[in-house]
Amino acid sequence: MTVRDLPQPQAQLSVFDAVTIMVGLVVGIGIFRAPSIVAGSVDTEWMFIAVWVVGGLVTLIGALCYAELSAAHPHAGGEYHFLSRAYGRSVAMMFGWARCTVIQTGAIAGVAFMLGDYLTQVAPLGPHSSALYAAIAVILFTGVNVIGTTQGKNLQVVVTFIEVAAIAAIILFGLLGAPGDAGPPASRVPSETAALGMAMIFVLLTYGGWNEAAYLTGELHDAPRNIVKVLALGTLILVVLYTLANLAMLKILGLEGLQGSDAVAADMMRRVAGPPGELLVTLAIVVAAVSTLNATIFTGARVFYAMGRDLAVMRWLGKWDGRGKAPVNGQLAQAALALALVGMGAATPDGFKAMVDYTAPVFWGFLLMVGLGLFILRWRHPGQKLPFRVPLYPLTPALFCLTCLYMLHASLRHTGASAWVGLAVLLAGLPILLLKRKNDAAPAGEAAARDDTGHPSQTLKPAPGDPQ
């Protein structure tokens, strides 16, 4: 039985499904935490709103760069596949290692900790309550996605709509309501400590997650044409939601109120709607965490699948479950690593912050390499017909790369010791390069065109989700 005869990713996601997953990934807990930090880094109200708009434009530029790569090279392996095409399988495998052990699993653990923090306020489970809730959440939502892609997708649609509806309510209450009693004035951050660059760091972190849409191209109907719609439409929805939400909170709390608040959305709703409004925000945060966690688990296992198809020793990860239409082995391996990181985070004062620090430098480093890969692939294949070309090339991808470079520098400068742990784990993956298949000429994912001995199968016609 050849690998070609095994179940493969099928085109089962519509544009609506993919946009819902993308929005659910991004519209998470960041919008409930970042505004106070951003407000503390700017001097004026107009600058506070401006950084959210500029952050949205930078995100749109990055999304358009990914749209070109995804349309030209649709594959369930997403960025893993792009890096293999641009730099070779050695770099792609190091990214796969980083994503499996640092980026994706760290993100899953971080969001699970945030969910645990809020659930602990409702029903504490003891001294390690947040970590226990985090572990339970990882197991629960992995189980949903192991049952099948359809079940995971349907859950994502439901929680994303609940989440967006809650944020829409916050926007309406804020824009239509009147400021209540502000209470004692907050201590204003001195202008000399205001740092626009720091504000952009947290804004871009809040917009983070849009790049996960690249992992859906192996299962998206007519991916070369539709991935552009997914990335552009999803990003525009995010910019509108974030800008309006921050306008609403700014109107009710003012810049000083935002600077002095640790829970901006809850404080805003308490002013305009009383305790029921505060309860609404708490529920919205829990739903946001559930949405982000489920979507991150859904997309994350796809790179385990891609790596398993390239490494003989990890071939068991490269199997697609035909019944559930999902990379079940990849999901189980992902859950095991995420649970290990939950255990690591439980030993720190703030598990969520530890996971953010752990992932940030590695994430921005590889995102920079993906941006540079667009230039490399254009140079290497000048005559290739591209279903979509990023506008204003080379200006737009250059701006995206410069943004990634700045974020890499900032994440190394402003994060804690966990960042260096993440880099150490990345370097620990270097031995994985010794496990490459002997025949290293084919791009990532084309191992699927070989039989179980590693030799080319009789037919090399790409299967659904394979590179064209």
Mean pLDDT of the chain: 76
Per residue in 261-305, pLDDT (tens digit) is 766 777 888 888 788 877 777 777 777 777 778 777 877 676 677
Average pLDDT of span 324-352: 81
pLDDT at 113: 85
Percent of the chain beyond pLDDT 90?
16
Which H, E and C letters describe 199-233, residue by residue?
HHHHHHHHHCCHHHHHHHCCCECCHHHHHHHHHHH
Q: What is the pLDDT of residues 342-360, one digit of tens each?
A: 988 888 877 877 888 888 8
Return the higher-pLDDT residue of 368 and 78: 368
Statement: residue 122 has pLDDT above 80: no
pLDDT of residue 79 exceeding 70, the answer is yes
For residue 388, give Cα distances in angstroms to 54, 227, 341: 24, 10, 38
Please give the C-alpha separations between residue 79 and each of 144, 282, 344, in angstroms, as whole numbers. Answer: 25, 34, 27
Q: What is the pLDDT of residue 128?
A: 83
pLDDT 10s digits, 23-45: 877 776 677 777 887 888 888 88
pLDDT surpassing 70 at residue 313: no
What is the mean predicted confidence (pLDDT) over 399-407? 91
Higher pLDDT, 436 or 228: 228
Half-sphere exposure of 449 (CA within 13 A, CB side): 19
Average pLDDT over residues 432-456: 46
Q: With 0-12 CB in 10 A as exposed, 13-18 as middle and 19+ as buried, what is 217?
A: buried
- Looking at 309-416, list the stretches that DSSP marks H as alpha helix, in order from N- to C-terminal side: 328-346, 351-380, 395-414
Percentage of residues of the chain with pLDDT beyond 70: 76
Q: How far apart are CA 146 and CA 333, in angstroms?
A: 11
pTM: 0.74
Choose between 281 and 372: higher pLDDT: 372
Q: Which residue has the higher pLDDT, 138 or 459?
A: 138
What is the number of alpha carbons within 13 Å of residue 62 lying toward its C-beta?
28
Max mean pLDDT among 73-82, 95-104, 221-230 falls in: 95-104
CATH architecture label of 3-449: Up-down Bundle (1.20)
Straight-line distance from the first to the last Cα atom of the chain, in angstroms, rounded to the nearest whole number: 23
In this prediction, residue 212 has a pLDDT band, given cuts at 50, 70 and 90, of confident
Give the pLDDT of residue 151.
57
Q: Is the pLDDT of residue 361 over 60?
A: yes
Cis status of the peptide bond prior to 276, with omega within 30 of 0: no
